[in-house]
Amino acid sequence: MPTPEEQIIVIQKLHKWYGEMHVLRDINLIVHKGERIVICGPSGSGKSTLIRCINRLEEHQRGRILVDGTELTNDSKNIEKIRAEVGMVFQHFNLFPHLTILENLTLGPIWVRKIPKAEAEEMAMYYLEKVHIADQARKYPGQLSGGQQQRVAIARSLCMKPNIMLFDEPTSALDPEMVKEVLDVMINLAQEGMTMIVVSHEMGFAKSVAHRVLFMDEGQILESNTPVEFFENPQHERLRLFISQILH
Amino acid sequence: MELEKKHIQQATQEEIRPPVTIMGPMGWIRANLFSSWFNGLLTVLIIFLLWKTLPPFFKWAFVESLWRSDGTACRDAGGACWSVVSQNFRFMIFGFYPHDQQWRPLLSMAILVALLFYSRNRNHWKKLLVYAWLTGLLLMGVLMKGGILGLVDVESTQWGGLPLTLLLAVFGLTAAYPLGVLLALGRQSRLPAIRTLCIVYIELIRGVPLISLLFMSSVVFPLFLPEGVSINKILRAQVAIILFTAAYIAEVVRGGLQGIPKGQLEATETLGLSYYHTMRLVILPQALKIVIPPSVSILISAFKDTSLVVIIALFDLLKTTQSVLSDPQWMGFSTEAYIFVALVYFLCCFFMSNYSRRLERELNVERA
Amino acid sequence: MVDTKDSLPESKTSFWYDPAKRSILYQVVSLLFVGLLGYYLLSNTRHNLERQSIATGFGFLQKEASFEIGESLVAYSAADTYARALWVGILNTVLISGIGIVLAVTLGILIGIARLSNNWLVSRLSSVYIEVFQDIPVLLQLFFWYAFCYEMLPSPRQAIHPMTGIFLSNRGLVFAVPATHPAHRYMCAAFSCALIAVFFLRRWSRKRQERTGRTFPMLGTSLGILLFFPIGAWWLAGAPTAMSMPVLKGFNFEGGLTISPEFSALLMGLVLYTAAFVAEIVRAGIQSVNRGQTEAAMALGLKSGRVLSLVILPQALRVIVPPLTSQMLNLTKNSSLAVAIGYPDFVSVAGTTINQTGQAIEGVAMIMAVYLCFSLLTSAFMNWYNKKIALVER
């Protein structure tokens, strides 16, 4: 039985509204350390909103979120503490265009973790090597392709040494030939034991590394299962419809 | 590690209402006025300041004000003297135009407003519109000047007030536009002499204040003309405004020309179109569409800039107001008079800039 | 066997269809046209000038000006030359433009940021300000403030007296200033030392951060240094407190520093008008930065102050600075409207010169030349800035 200390994210009875729109309904989720979860569902189902609540890029109105024991409230100290432990990779990369690749990576460590510059750069080069892009360190984001930029974005999050990595449709904005290079990096990360929550439609990725796949629709988690069972034996009728649509 | 293997949930359809603190008027107030202690402080401060200033202002402007009295009565009372506007209204708006003929400038302005309203609807933007404008402008000129069709001749020295302001702005922009387009094309030209001439003109005019050009028009232009030939003051000021506005239009049109993909030019070259046809049929229609919002902005500036003719003693709306204020009976009521003039300018400019914003949004949506 | 020639027969294009020759023709024709027009205008001008016996050339600059100038940064009297009078005018223009630009940009930045506030009252009020002050001609605003000074404010005998040493009347704002004392020179020197100290402190703090990662409270410390060095110098020089107090003598005040109604009206009008445009520019610049940038920076754990200074502002400034320099130039050009309310800026003085000497062409040419200089300086700066901060892209 997994002990409570190993529960790294606990979400209880979470509700969120945008004005009158109920975008997250009664979300209950427990994520264990080292677990890899893929969330999929139609657009507008609230998947991105859910993971953005975890690092407080969105505020929830009802329910509780605990990240590594700390509850997410309006207390800014808690929020900063949690953000430093949770890394996020965005669909549109969001690299800082006015800084070099190296500076993009060292920004967080220098200003948040107060690490000396030389040490930060060394660590940055290590992670750039890990995502196979060390030779571009002195270039600017505008000079890189989409796939390269996303790999840099992953390295940038890793420099903060997070315990949890959130991915918000990391490959949706990429040309098809670049999707594989990014997925490879994510698979490597998974094999090293990182806790990952990934919003994505990439079924191959889900099947190879995910422990669980979640299906969300209209703000609710409707089905949660192992990848194999999820794709071959969908129980919920909406999930069956969804799978038939993405398996064209 | 034992993980949750399987979990299915029926979709719940019951509606839960969002918490009252984020909904309704309470929610709005909390989110928009008091979202943080700093915001709350600002809100309280602003409400306090408004409380201190607005009631006295209303008292002065509306409660204790006089609307139809004369100067002495106004001086005795304490409130705003709007009579300075109501009693001198016709002079402020029409200047020295003969009293019994003032229906003519009024009709002119009505034609202008009608044309503007007609042009607002983009479905009307066809060739017919250009002819409508040209006839309209011609009609306005005839109405103002007279001398034919049984209308009494009114010298341009007697034109003044709001019609003069509108005239200078609208004619200014209309005449400046073709000149500006030519300058922009010249600036893009590959012929070095023409390009240099255009660049020199544009940079020279854009670098100097309008007032220097107005000075030039009133004291230097007469020197350029041969003996015995004289041009009336309004025409000189109009020429200065045209030359000034043309340079700004040239820059704006240049921006539009640069916004056209190079592929368009290449396509016309392969078709063998001449330079004239290329510009007229393909490039300019696209460029001019892009530059309409900034052009409206230039019109607004031109409208505001006509107020500068005060300095060369032309009786536009601002100068007529000042004349009224120099009358001993109405001296000292500048605040009321200027507020009135400011209101007139504000309403005109506000509608124009509103229109320009709406237009920009529509054109952006189309292009996306 | 076909006889292959070595070269194609030379084609002779007609003169009219050869683009190279045609382009030369067009240029020659246009230059000729401009030249002829210029010659025609010039000959008329020369003839008219002779007829009206107006002198030409810039000799008048050495003649005695014989008119007074109300406000001047340097000593001037009616016996000085026209050249000196014009110089006073230029200094006045630079003075009002300089102060105007600093105030307008500061106010504009505040209002621009306020426009983006999530406080509904604040943002609505700012947008009302922007709309109203942009749509009223600047000359009208100048007249309004000028009339306000003269009609709403009392005469010096009944001047408003909010506190000792400050008087507000329709002759201007007079306030007490410290009487000249050698301590002031020491204070200036101390301030320069403070600036240098802050510069080196910044370098040291940055190097220390690179080495050890620890940050240093630069903002507070710099402000402290800039404040305390001059105060320290003042105290060391004997803490002189003698003030030049304004005293009512006859119909006006003597002593202290006077800010004339013309200056204040011009400053108010220019600052309030230009700030509205600056506010729009600042707002557009900040909004031009993608929301994702803020989110990415926050996701890294950066505090909002750092997010602003490290990520948002550098990108926003790229969009803000070019139109901002245009507005600063506009303010300088608009300061020429001083002639309408009697503040002796360059155009005003040049106007008087033209009236007295009749040499309109030289006068207008000088006005244009001075403002062209301002323009070209601004363009050069903008080009340099744009090149320097351009984002590197593939």
Mean pLDDT of all residues in C374-393:
83
Cα–Cα distance measured from residue A213 to residue B6, given in angstroms and rounded to the nearest whole number? 10
**C136 touches B342 (CB < 8 A):** yes
List the single best residue of C139, C332, C347, C376 to mutate versus B (max B Cβ within 10 A): C139
Chains interfacing with C (3 or more CB pairs < 8 Å): A, B
Please tell me the predicted confidence (pLDDT) of residue C14: 60
How many other CB atoms are found less than 10 A from the CB of residue A64? 13
Nearest to C360 among B192, B197, B219 (CB): B219
Do the Cβ atoms of C295 and A90 come within 8 Å?
yes
How many other CB atoms are found less than 10 A from the CB of residue A226? 18
Q: Quote the minimal CA–CA distance from B348 to chain A in Å.
A: 37
How many other CB atoms are found less than 10 A from the CB of residue B9? 14
Please tell me the predicted confidence (pLDDT) of residue A119: 93
Do the Cβ atoms of A140 and C391 come within 8 Å?
yes
Residue C10 predicted with pLDDT over 60: no
List the single best residue of A56, A98, A119, A121 to mutate versus C (max C Cβ within 10 A): A98
Please tell me the predicted confidence (pLDDT) of residue B285: 79
| Two tokens, residue C318 | 């790229």
Residue A29 predicted with pLDDT over 90: yes
**pLDDT tens readout for residues A133-150:** 999 999 999 999 999 999
- Listed by number, the residues of chain B in 148-177 with a beta carbon closer than 8 Å to a beta carbon of chain C are none
Mean pLDDT for chain C? 86
Name the more confident of B76 and B174.
Answer: B174
Name the more confident of C233 and B151.
Answer: C233
Q: Which residues of A touch B25 (CB under 8 A)?
A: none
Q: Which residues of C touch A140 (CB under 8 A)?
A: 391-393
- Residue of chain A with shortest Cα separation from C297: A108
How many other CB atoms are found less than 10 A from the CB of residue B71? 17
Whether chain B has a CB inside 8 Å of the CB on C148: the answer is yes
Residue A1 predicted with pLDDT over 50: no
User: What percent of chain B is modeled with pLDDT above 90?
Assistant: 15
Name the more confident of C294 and C79.
Answer: C294
Nearest to C147 among B35, B308, B335 (CB): B335
Residue C111 predicted with pLDDT over 80: yes
Whether chain C has a CB inside 8 Å of the CB on A172: the answer is no
Do the Cβ atoms of C27 and B191 come within 8 Å?
yes
Angle at the Cα of C305 from the Cα atoms of C302 and C308, rounded to 5 degrees: 90
Mean pLDDT for chain A? 91
Mean pLDDT of all residues in C21-35:
84
Q: Which residues of C touch B39 (CB under 8 A)?
A: 117-119, 122
Whether chain A has a CB inside 8 Å of the CB on B8: the answer is yes
Q: Which residues of C touch A80 (CB under 8 A)?
A: 301, 303
Name the more confident of A89 and C160.
Answer: A89
Q: How sure is the predictor about B328, in pLDDT bands with cuts at 50, 70 and 90?
A: confident
Name the more confident of A116 and C150.
Answer: A116
Please tell me the predicted confidence (pLDDT) of residue B11: 55
Residue B226 predicted with pLDDT over 70: yes
Angle at the Cα of C348 from the Cα atoms of C345 and C349, rounded to 5 degrees: 85
Q: How sure is the predictor about A96, in pLDDT bands with cuts at 50, 70 and 90?
A: very high
User: What percent of chain C is modeled with pLDDT above 70?
Assistant: 95
**Checking phi first, is residue A94 left (phi over 0); if not, alpha (psi -120 to 50) or beta?**
left
Please tell me the predicted confidence (pLDDT) of residue A88: 95
Cα–Cα distance measured from residue B152 to residue B51, given in angstroms and rounded to the nearest whole number? 55
Do the Cβ atoms of C336 and B206 come within 8 Å?
no
Please tell me the predicted confidence (pLDDT) of residue C6: 55
How does strand A7-18 pair with strand A62-67? antiparallel
Write the DSSP symbol of residue B218.
I
Q: How sure is the predictor about B5, in pLDDT bands with cuts at 50, 70 and 90?
A: very low
- Listed by number, the residues of chain C in 341-370 with a beta carbon closer than 8 Å to a beta carbon of chain B are 347, 351, 354, 360-361, 363-364, 367-368
Please tell me the predicted confidence (pLDDT) of residue A148: 95
Which of B11-20, C45-54, C281-290 has the highest mean predicted lDDT (pLDDT)?
Answer: C281-290
**pLDDT tens readout for residues B161-199:** 888 888 888 888 889 999 999 999 888 888 888 888 899
Do the Cβ atoms of A20 and B18 come within 8 Å?
yes
Please tell me the predicted confidence (pLDDT) of residue B243: 94
Strand locations in chain A (E)? 7-18, 21-32, 36-40, 62-67, 70-71, 86-89, 164-168, 195-199, 212-217, 220-225
Chains interfacing with A (3 or more CB pairs < 8 Å): B, C
Please tell me the predicted confidence (pLDDT) of residue B37: 79
Whether chain B has a CB inside 8 Å of the CB on C145: the answer is no
- Listed by number, the residues of chain C in 199-228 with a beta carbon closer than 8 Å to a beta carbon of chain A are 209-215
Residue C8 predicted with pLDDT over 70: no
C284 burial level (CB within 10 Å; 0-12, 13-18, 19+): middle
User: ipTM value of the model?
Assistant: 0.88
Nearest to A111 among C292, C310, C314 (CB): C310
Mean pLDDT of all residues in B73-77:
76
| Two tokens, residue B330 | 């109405």
Do the Cβ atoms of B39 and C118 come within 8 Å?
yes
Residue C39 predicted with pLDDT over 90: no
Mean pLDDT for chain B? 83
Nearest to C391 among A55, A98, A111 (CB): A98
Residue A44 predicted with pLDDT over 90: no
Please tell me the predicted confidence (pLDDT) of residue A104: 94
Residue C110 predicted with pLDDT over 60: yes
Please tell me the predicted confidence (pLDDT) of residue A90: 95
How does strand A36-40 pair with strand A62-67? unpaired
Whether chain B has a CB inside 8 Å of the CB on C117: the answer is yes
Cα–Cα distance measured from residue A51 to residue A86, given in angstroms and rounded to the nearest whole number? 11
| Two tokens, residue C99 | 């102060």
Residues from A in contact with B at Cβ < 8 Å: 1-2, 6, 15, 17, 19-20, 22, 25-26, 30, 32, 34-35, 61-62, 211-212, 217-218, 220-226, 229, 235-236, 238
User: What percent of chain C is modeled with pLDDT above 90?
Assistant: 32
- Residue of chain B with shortest Cα separation from A21: B18
Please tell me the predicted confidence (pLDDT) of residue C16: 61
Cα–Cα distance measured from residue A227 to residue A214, given in angstroms and rounded to the nearest whole number? 9
A7-18: strand order across its sheet: A21-32, A7-18, A62-67, A70-71
Mean pLDDT of all residues in A162-189:
93
Q: How sure is the predictor about B2, in pLDDT bands with cuts at 50, 70 and 90?
A: very low
Q: Which amino acid is at B325?
A: L
Mean pLDDT of all residues in B128-137:
86
**pLDDT tens readout for residues A6-25:** 889 999 999 999 888 899 99
Name the more confident of A4 and A231.
Answer: A231
Residue C341 predicted with pLDDT over 50: yes
**pLDDT tens readout for residues C262-309:** 999 999 999 999 999 999 999 999 988 989 999 999 999 998 888 988
Residue B3 predicted with pLDDT over 50: no
Q: How sure is the predictor about C117, in pLDDT bands with cuts at 50, 70 and 90?
A: confident
Q: How sure is the predictor about B121, in pLDDT bands with cuts at 50, 70 and 90?
A: confident
Residue B12 predicted with pLDDT over 70: no
Mean pLDDT of all residues in B274-294:
80
Whether chain C has a CB inside 8 Å of the CB on A90: the answer is yes
Q: Is the dihedral of CA C248, C253, C259, C262 positive or negative?
A: positive
Residue C385 predicted with pLDDT over 90: no
Residue A33 predicted with pLDDT over 80: yes
